[in-house]
């Protein structure tokens, strides 16, 4: 594994904890090795190992740190300094790889190159990888040794730039060599969406416009932009969360059953559903989408600053940290069913879920005086994080014999709940662990294909363009630590629905 951007945040926060966990579970080949490439010229193998060790000890993804596991992995971790946009750097990489791999036969020198770098350096790196011969184009996916390229999001900044990037990448490499990461797909519960839908027969007959009234997909974060103000100002919540994570959740929820669980069969279905999402227009956007920024607020007595006061953020920034939007999928299954998507930073808590709300019963005879609570429709909730699991809520009769006195049954909502940790113990593997292993074994189902990325940009582009042309004045706000702006409540209430507040 060659990591570009080795001294960056992702490497220490996600990649090394994932590698450590794979090592602890004996899922790495004995001679697996990492060559970390970073700008720091003075860094050495030893000093880099020490930094990664410190990062692992701090990581909350590493439970029960075992020094023996680390020692074995650490001796297979190497560092090479250089500027990855310069051809010289690749000569250095070749030299180091030759040392590391010298004992292996040529056809076993499989390599993957992980681009944990800002999008501005994607292009030079992929070009150099190709020109240096480190990643030759292999039309045949069975060719050995294999060479793969893993790209982090964001993949492009717009439909146009994503297309250009795809065009470039696919001239240099074959599609099967390119692993576009959307780490949400590595989350246990996200993969479970397909299992729940297609390994059970009770859900699928209800999974359509006849029985579903609407779907809410939420990815709420408690954190603010932290030290990423510079990146975030350019990205904003729509590029950061909607174009990839939320649309992936929508695609998995709404897609048709694939003929097989193979990478292409699953991705074909996802592309089909993304292509059926109705495009927003300048006429529909004002009543279909809301943007906002967090303002100062307090959480558990701690004062939190507003977005415009965060480091590297313009005082008059127009970048939304929250968005909510109503989408429609124009196909036979979903026509007319609203899919509400929302995501924000600095919300009340970290919580992601997919909630499928079913139609209310056509006729209710349990109302009556003294029991005028509105009955809740059934909701099937797939909790993505935290407390991963599934719950179904339904109405039951409250026990007691009061019926005779009051002439009506008392009815109350209850939850039937499945929790991963209760059922299986602490098993949810961090997303990056799953995804790194998939790269190594050549399993592409959880990675986005070029046409899928473009289909997602097509959905998002009209919204981004409209918002960049129509300044919000004033920009709606929500206090840090809240559930979002009042404008979003209005958006959903137009259809007689309400946001769920878990």
**What residue ranges bind ligand BG6 (CB under 6 A)?**
221, 240
Q: How far is the CB of 205 from ligand BG6 (least distance, A)?
A: 32
Q: How far is the CB of 219 from ligand BG6 (least distance, A)?
A: 7
The answer to whether 500 touches 216, Cβ cutoff 8 Å, is yes
Cα–Cα distance, 490 to 84 (Å, whole number) = 48
20 versus 232: smaller Cβ distance to ligand BG6: 232
Q: How far is the CB of 15 from ligand BG6 (least distance, A)?
A: 14
221 versus 353: smaller Cβ distance to ligand BG6: 221
Active site residue 245: yes
Q: How far is the CB of 242 from ligand BG6 (least distance, A)?
A: 11
Q: How far is the CB of 318 from ligand BG6 (least distance, A)?
A: 18
Of 33, 12, 6, nearest in space to 440 by CA = 33
The answer to whether 346 touches 481, Cβ cutoff 8 Å, is yes
The answer to whether 11 touches 49, Cβ cutoff 8 Å, is no
Active-site pick, 128, 176, 183, 245: 245
Which residues 6+ apart lie within 8 Å of 9 measured at CB? none
Q: How far is the CB of 240 from ligand BG6 (least distance, A)?
A: 5
HEC profile for 443-499? CCCCEECHHHHHHHHHHHHHHHHHHHHCCCCCCCEEECCECCCHHHHHHHHCCCCCC
- Quick count: other Cβ atoms within 10 Å of Cβ 115? 23
33 versus 235: smaller Cβ distance to ligand BG6: 235
63 versus 102: smaller Cβ distance to ligand BG6: 63
Sequence-ordered strand ranges (E) for 197-347: 212-220, 289-295, 297-299, 302-304, 322-327, 339-344
290 versus 384: smaller Cβ distance to ligand BG6: 384
What DSSP letter does each residue of 189-235 carry, written as one string? Answer: HHHHHHHHHHS-SSSGGGSSTTTEEEEEEEEE-S---TT-HHHHHHH
Taken as a whole, the chain contains a residue count of 502
Q: Could you say which DSSP state residue 141 is in?
A: T
Q: Which long-range contacts (CB under 8 A, 24 or more apart) does 39-42 make?
A: 39/7, 39/81, 39/82, 39/83, 39/84, 40/7, 40/81, 41/81, 41/82, 42/81
240 versus 452: smaller Cβ distance to ligand BG6: 240
Q: Which residue is nearest to ligand BG6 (CB)?
A: 240
Q: How far is the CB of 152 from ligand BG6 (least distance, A)?
A: 9
Residue at token pair 């026509």: 335
129 versus 341: smaller Cβ distance to ligand BG6: 341
Cα–Cα distance, 320 to 485 (Å, whole number) = 12
**Residues with active-site annotation:** 245
């Amino acid at each position: 594994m060659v990591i570009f951007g080795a001294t960056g945040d992702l490497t220490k926060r996600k990649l090394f904890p994932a590698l450590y966990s794979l090592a602890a579970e004996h899922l790495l080949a004995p001679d697996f090795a990492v060559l970390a490439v970073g700008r720091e010229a003075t860094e050495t193998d030893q000093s880099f190992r020490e930094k990664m060790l410190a990062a692992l000890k701090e990581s909350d993804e590493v439970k029960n740190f075992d020094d023996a596991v680390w020692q074995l992995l650490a001796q297979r971790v190497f560092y090479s300094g250089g500027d990855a946009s310069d051809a010289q750097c690749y000569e250095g990489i070749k030299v180091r790889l030759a040392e590391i791999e010298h004992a292996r036969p040529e056809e076993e020198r499989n390599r993957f190159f992980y681009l944990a770098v800002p999008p501005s350096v994607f292009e030079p790196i992929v070009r150099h990888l190709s020109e240096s011969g480190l990643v030759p184009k292999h039309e045949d996916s069975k060719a050995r040794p294999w060479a793969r390229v893993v790209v982090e999001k964001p993949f492009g900044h717009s439909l146009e730039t994503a297309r250009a990037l795809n065009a470039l990448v696919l001239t240099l490499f074959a599609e099967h060599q390119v692993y576009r990461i959307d780490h949400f797909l590595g989350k246990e519960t996200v993969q479970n969406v397909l299992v729940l839908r297609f390994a059970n027969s009770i859900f699928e007959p209800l999974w359509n416009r006849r029985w579903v009234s609407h779907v809410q997909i939420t990815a709420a974060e408690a954190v603010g932009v932290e030290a990423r103000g510079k990146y975030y100002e350019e990205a904003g919540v729509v590029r950061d969360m909607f174009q990839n994570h939320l649309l992936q959740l929508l695609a998995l929820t709404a897609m048709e059953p694939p003929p097989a669980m193979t990478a292409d069969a699953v991705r074909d279905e996802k592309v089909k559903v993304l292509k059926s999402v109705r495009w927003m227009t300048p006429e529909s956007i004002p009543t279909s989408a809301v943007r906002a920024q967090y303002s100062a607020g307090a959480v558990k007595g701690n004062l939190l600053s507003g977005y415009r006061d965060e480091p590297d953020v313009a005082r008059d920034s127009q970048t939304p940290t929250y968005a909510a939007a109503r989408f429609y999928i124009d196909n036979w299954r979903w026509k007319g069913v609203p899919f509400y998507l929302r995501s924000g930073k600095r919300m009340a808590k970290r919580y992601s879920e997919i909630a499928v709300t079913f139609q209310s019963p056509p006729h209710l005879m349990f109302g009556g005086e003294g029991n005028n609570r509105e009955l809740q429709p059934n909701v099937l909730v797939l909790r993505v994080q935290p407390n991963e699991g599934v719950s179904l809520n339904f109405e039951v009769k409250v026990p007691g014999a009061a019926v005779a006195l009051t002439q009506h049954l008392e009815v109350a909502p209850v939850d039937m709940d499945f929790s991963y940790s209760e059922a299986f113990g602490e098993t949810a593997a961090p997303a990056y662990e799953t995804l790194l292993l998939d790269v190594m074994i050549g399993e592409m189902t959880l990675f986005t294909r070029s046409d899928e990325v473009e289909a997602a940009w097509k959905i998002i582009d009209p919204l981004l363009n409209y918002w960049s042309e129509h300044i919000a004045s004033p920009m709606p706000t929500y206090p840090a630590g809240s559930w979002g702006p009042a404008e979003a409540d209005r958006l959903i209430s137009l259809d007689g629905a309400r946001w769920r507040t878990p």
